[in-house]
Amino acid sequence: MDDLVEVKEVRKIFKGKGKSPDVLAVDTVNLKIKKNEFITILGPSGCGKSTLLRMIGGLEKQSEGIIYLARNEITGPSANRGMVFQAYSLFPWLTVEENIQFGSKIKKMESAKKKAITQQYIELVGLKGFEQHYPKQLSGGMQQRVAIARALANEPEILLLDEPFGALDSQTRLIMQELLLTIWEKTHKTILFITHDVEEAIFLGTRVLTMTSRPGKIKADIPITLEHPRSYKIKTEHHFIDLKEQLTELIRSESLKSIELQAQ
């Protein structure tokens, strides 16, 4: 099968301003993502995860290398990539329904189709009955569900998620993981998901990539063959625990390196 995304020899150097030195954030990343994969990226803080995701999103330009989506070079943001960030990013002056209809593709649809698609995604994220609410009337988890619905309603080729559950309490976070997994099991939308949570990466992913401490490179690429549909109960199974041990070790050694680097 063709690769949906190809990241080729990509490096990112942030130029220092004034006396501050240049920062090599991402170093020679090569990555191929197939359609329908759910890829999770695990890495220590500051290793370049968000930078890599933002380059695939077209929000940041790489210093070297090239990134393709469906064989077309990525040169900027586009409706074919839906993004969700850790910070709540809804428009506070728009209702849930209006937020979901904000994307550039859905905006242009005729009104009956627009309404049907909005309803479909509102139901998919379990927010039926909240169509006319404003973001401030919703909990953090509900706001992130709107953000996911908004990204999906624009029917992108890939969803790019940067620690979308990072600001949620642990119980809500678990429920959001199950919700996102159920969405993936229903739609098989290609997903790239960044996290620093080992359990979250294994539970959600069909493949987990780990990154080194900065400058971020891909360190390991581990297929997750746990069966679908997955329930939270899988987290106590031997295979899951073995994976958790293996990945925790990989990340821990990199986190220690980055702490040592900072201490120098």
Interface residues toward Mg ion, by CB under 5 A: 50
Helix (H, G, I), strand (E, B) or coil at 43: coil
> Counting contacts by CB under 6 A, is residue 217 touching ligand ATP?
no
Binding residue for ligand ATP (CB under 6 A) from 14, 68, 88, 134?
A: 14
**Helix 140-153 crosses helix 170-187 at what angle (to 10 degrees)?**
20
Q: Kindly state the smallest distance separating residue 167's Cβ from ligand ATP, in Å.
A: 12
Question: Which of ligand ATP, Mg ion, none is residue 208 near (CB under 5 to 8 Å by kind)?
Answer: none
Q: In the window 193-212, what residues touch ligand ATP (CB under 6 A)?
A: 196
With b for 16 or more beta-carbon neighbours within 10 A and e for fewer, the 5-34 pattern comes to bbbeebbbeeeeeeeeeeeebbbebebebe
> Counting contacts by CB under 6 A, is residue 109 touching ligand ATP?
no
Cα gap 263→46, rounded to integer Å? 14
Instruction: Calculate the alpha carbon distances from 221 to 94, 209, 212 in Å.
Output: 41, 5, 12
Q: Kindly state the smallest distance separating residue 230's Cβ from Mg ion, in Å.
A: 25
* Binding span for ligand ATP by CB under 6 A among 48-56, 125-133, 167-175, 177-185: 48-56
Binding residue for ligand ATP (CB under 6 A) from 4, 7, 31, 51?
A: 51
Label residue 133 exposed, middle or buried (CB < 10 Å: 0-12, 13-18, 19+).
middle
Q: Kindly state the smallest distance separating residue 254's Cβ from Mg ion, in Å.
A: 15
Q: Give me the residue label for tokens 């627009």.
A: 114
Site for ligand ATP, rule CB under 6 A: 14, 23, 25, 43, 45-51, 196, 214
